[in-house]
Structure 1
Amino acid sequence: MSEYQLEIKQVVDYPRCRIYRQFIQNLMADRSIRTNGGSGLFYYTVLCNYANFRTSYLRIDGIGYTVYPGEWICTVKELSAWFRTRFQCQAVSILDELQKRHLISYLFLDRGKVVKYKIRDWKKQNTVLDYNCPCQKDTGFFFMPVVTATELVSAGRCSEMDILLDLWMSAVYNDNQVQGSEIGPVVYFRNGTGSPLVAYSEMAARWGISKATTGRVLKKLADMDYISLMSFPGKTGSVIYLHSYLSTMFQISDVLVDKEEVAMSLKISITLPDEGEPQADSALTEHEVCVSEELSCVSKSDMDAVIRKMAQVLDAQGISCFRCPKSIYKLYPLSNACREEYIFHTLNTAARFGMSVCCGEDKPVYTFELSLSPTENDREGGCRE
């Protein structure tokens, strides 16, 4: 029997985002997330969530209706409950706004008590089944064009629900065009840089809110365990990873994302402690570090600090050797290009080292590759990072 290896990705070039109906139903049931906004992304997503993907028949108040793919029929009262509006006329106003943007079309039935709406371009973005059968609204998924979501976000002031959906639809996973996506599902706003680092001012301008409100909303979503918000010092920016994304989108186990691992993936400089400065407790216990004689330009204390940074990341992933006092760490150049003479004359390039984790004097149990790059201050003879 042939064996296959499945590789899961959510690439940045894919023009559509797959949205599971159960995920939208869970968001609709979460009353702690506010929906009062003017962008319309949440409202449009709810309408898509109830749209048929095949022809079915529906009876309301004893009257039978035929519902075709991309359509749905509901009462105005139900529509108001979905949109969380106080009055039914407010729900109808939302439909008017979406119709003006050429996203839907709708009409009233049964003297204005029932609404029949249709998602435009539904057949273009979603597969339509030919046979007739009832369509469940809490299973399966539908596709939404990324460009449509972006246009809705930029149309007005976003609510908390709009922001959460925008983050979800902007997620990228395991795409070599986006840094940090190999670690976990990261939010990338497709700005062409390939870096998920984003400033609060950029997100505030995108969502039509202030920077203070942006910070409060992101902190709230992080406290509710929807996202992991990682902020870095200075003007570096912030990175956002999504929780429960892999289990929802691909039915696989979610991954644990560590800030130190993200910093390494994005090549964000780490600050080494000064000589004699006490170091905070970490996962690394007493150990022995062996540095190759060909790397005498790199001090043992600096390498010790780098190993401690790696220990925090790898220990969180279940590699417990860094807690064992019998472990020995050996650092060596990977090629002649990494020798001291080469490093001294080419400070503008990254130096690649190998690190082996040995259990006592036995053979290595783990082997890693390190890439260390000097910062601008290092090149100018400034502080060490």
Structure 2
Amino acid sequence: MEYQLELKQIVDYPRCRIYRPFIRRLTQDVNIRTCGSSYLYYYIVLCSFANYRSSYRRLDSITYLIEPGEWICTPSELAQWFRTRFQHQAISILDHLQQQHYVTYTRLDRGQLIKFHINNWKANNTSLEYNYPCQKDVGFFFFPIAAVHELVSMGRCSEMDIILDMWIHAIYNDSQIQGSDVGPVVYFRNHTSNPLITCRDLASRWGISKSTVSRLLKKLEEQQYLTSVSFTGTHGSVLYLQSYLSTMFNISDVMIDKEEVSLTFQLPVIISEEESMETTASGTEIPESVIKDEQIYVSDSENSVPESHIKKMVHKVAGILAAQGIPCCECSKSNYKLYRLSDSGEGILRYSLNISCGGSPASYHFELNIQAQEGNQSPKASKNTVIPRAYAQPMAGEE
């Protein structure tokens, strides 16, 4: 018997699963700064060491009972986890978390040991009342989403805080969230189902400047923590996390194709009367297409969008489809035929796009929607610049 498995992650959940090895890797990455005043990173680190079940730990010939949500460590270990230079700095962080009622701790053996307890641990993590050894470098724990919003809003977020904030708010393959089918996208639950976000919004959320946000996103992309897809104008950016699927679900990570993301969000493709379409909505260069204008046939040339612009859009669509693995879009013998369909209203022109190889029947069938808007949204555009909004939807895919 054959089974088909489909993996989805829903956005409406009260807590997030966090794997301890992921926190260990973050702690060891010295390129990511921890200085901040939101304390999200410090609290999650403590949670990652908390016992899941009751166990015993022997230190200096004394055996201590450690119940669920608790752990015993030395001040030097705590400073190492928090990456502080001095032990008293780590203790002050613990004092602040205790004042905010996130943890409770006591000093043992004349201050040589620290025993801390995560408040409300049992409410978020099911614990079993029997002795069992607890391995600190494996497994996962559940972290409440409400605590993330509380801690992030306390002060200026560090780079570690920002990574964890995005990680906890990542959504994969949820029909409610646009673009989540492409990869694990960062969505901060703004009730729009659209993960597009601007640097101004991120700066306000994290308590830092817009220029700092821009530099940080570039840094995290260079270090392969995320993939940022930026759009021109005031549309914002879409953030996709790297290594998320392999960590959370133990499956292969996906490569984020920026052209596919641009097509998914249906953002404008700008074509001026004086310039050819050299850039996409994401600001990246259009992939060179092997097709020629002679391979493109447009049934109706009496449109508000010039036929030359429609052909340029077909070049664009062919490059995107070729990147997605459709071989006909890389063949110089393929034919592209556009047949005008009925208008769908609001100035949207609908075309049926048939892609065939030579004189054979259509191998691929898509619907191409074009919406022409008047406006001066490009610095080099004239007053009569036409701004088409084009996207393709598969209608049939028979090879």
TM-score (normalizing by structure 1)? 0.90
Alignment of 1:284-363 (within 5 A): 284-287=289-292, 288-293=295-300, 296-297=302-303, 299-333=306-340, 338-339=341-342, 342=343, 346=345, 348=346, 350-363=348-361
Q: Secondary structure at the match of 2:234?
A: coil
Q: Which residue of 2 aligns with 1:267?
A: 266
- Residue type of the alignment partner of 1:127: T
CA deviations on 1:292-350 (whole Å, 9 max, x unpaired) are 34x752543222222222233333333333221011122235xxxx33xx46xx3x154
Alignment of 1:228-239 (within 5 A): 228-239=227-238
Q: Percent identity?
A: 51
Q: Which residue of 1 aligns with 2:140?
A: 141
Distance 2:198 2:180 in 1: 18
Distance 1:369 1:125 in 2: 47
Aligned-pair CA distance for 1:187: 1.1
Q: Which residue of 2 aligns with 1:374?
A: 372
Structure 1 residues 51 and 278: alpha-carbon distance in aligned structure 2, compared to 1, 3 A threshold: closer
CA deviations on 1:40-74 (whole Å, 9 max, x unpaired) are 01001101111111121111122111111111111
Maintained 8 Å contact 1:188/1:195: yes
Q: Which residue of 2 aligns with 1:208?
A: 207
Distance 1:89 1:276 in 2: 62
Distance 2:268 2:286 in 1: 20
Distance 1:240 1:120 in 2: 32
Q: Secondary structure at the match of 1:247?
A: helix
Gap regions ≥5 residues in structure 2: 279-284, 377-382, 388-399
Distance 2:209 2:275 in 1: 43
Bigger shift: 191-200 or 5-14? 5-14
Distance 2:286 2:198 in 1: 31
Structure 1 residues 56 and 207: alpha-carbon distance in aligned structure 2, compared to 1, 3 A threshold: same
Structure 1 residues 127 and 268: alpha-carbon distance in aligned structure 2, compared to 1, 3 A threshold: same
Structure 1 residues 178 and 158: alpha-carbon distance in aligned structure 2, compared to 1, 3 A threshold: same
Maintained 8 Å contact 1:273/1:305: no
Distance 1:192 1:243 in 2: 24
Q: Which residue of 2 aligns with 1:180?
A: 179
Alignment of 1:33-48 (within 5 A): 33-48=32-47
Maintained 8 Å contact 2:374/2:386: no
Aligned-pair CA distance for 1:39: 0.5
Maintained 8 Å contact 2:271/2:277: no
Aligned-pair CA distance for 1:229: 1.5
CA deviations on 1:28-49 (whole Å, 9 max, x unpaired) are 1111100011100100110111
- Residue type of the alignment partner of 1:284: S
Distance 1:135 1:311 in 2: 54
Distance 1:357 1:248 in 2: 39
Structure 1 residues 65 and 5: alpha-carbon distance in aligned structure 2, compared to 1, 3 A threshold: same
Q: Which residue of 2 aligns with 1:282?
A: 287
Maintained 8 Å contact 2:271/2:385: no
CA deviations on 1:110-169 (whole Å, 9 max, x unpaired) are 111111111112111122234422111222111111111111111111111111111111
Structure 1 residues 276 and 59: alpha-carbon distance in aligned structure 2, compared to 1, 3 A threshold: closer
Distance 1:136 1:274 in 2: 65
Distance 1:116 1:55 in 2: 14
Structure 1 residues 15 and 351: alpha-carbon distance in aligned structure 2, compared to 1, 3 A threshold: farther
| Greater helix fraction, Structure 1 or Structure 2 | 1
Aligned-pair CA distance for 1:197: 1.4
TM-score (normalizing by structure 2)? 0.87
Distance 1:238 1:10 in 2: 21
- Residue type of the alignment partner of 1:375: Q
Alignment of 1:109-120 (within 5 A): 109-120=108-119
Distance 1:281 1:86 in 2: 49
Bigger shift: 311-320 or 8-17? 311-320
Tell me, yes or no, if structure 1 residue 155 matches structure 2 residue 154: yes
Structure 1 residues 137 and 319: alpha-carbon distance in aligned structure 2, compared to 1, 3 A threshold: farther
Structure 1 residues 130 and 320: alpha-carbon distance in aligned structure 2, compared to 1, 3 A threshold: farther
Aligned-pair CA distance for 1:278: 7.8
Distance 1:119 1:374 in 2: 57
Distance 1:101 1:36 in 2: 19
Q: Secondary structure at the match of 2:363?
A: strand
Q: Secondary structure at the match of 1:127?
A: coil
- Residue type of the alignment partner of 2:385: C
Structure 1 residues 275 and 211: alpha-carbon distance in aligned structure 2, compared to 1, 3 A threshold: closer
Q: Which residue of 2 aligns with 1:95?
A: 94
Distance 1:85 1:253 in 2: 35
Distance 2:125 2:321 in 1: 42
Count of residue pairs brought into register by the alignment: 372
Tell me, yes or no, if structure 1 residue 383 matches structure 2 residue 396: no
Structure 1 residues 330 and 156: alpha-carbon distance in aligned structure 2, compared to 1, 3 A threshold: same
Aligned-pair CA distance for 1:275: 6.8
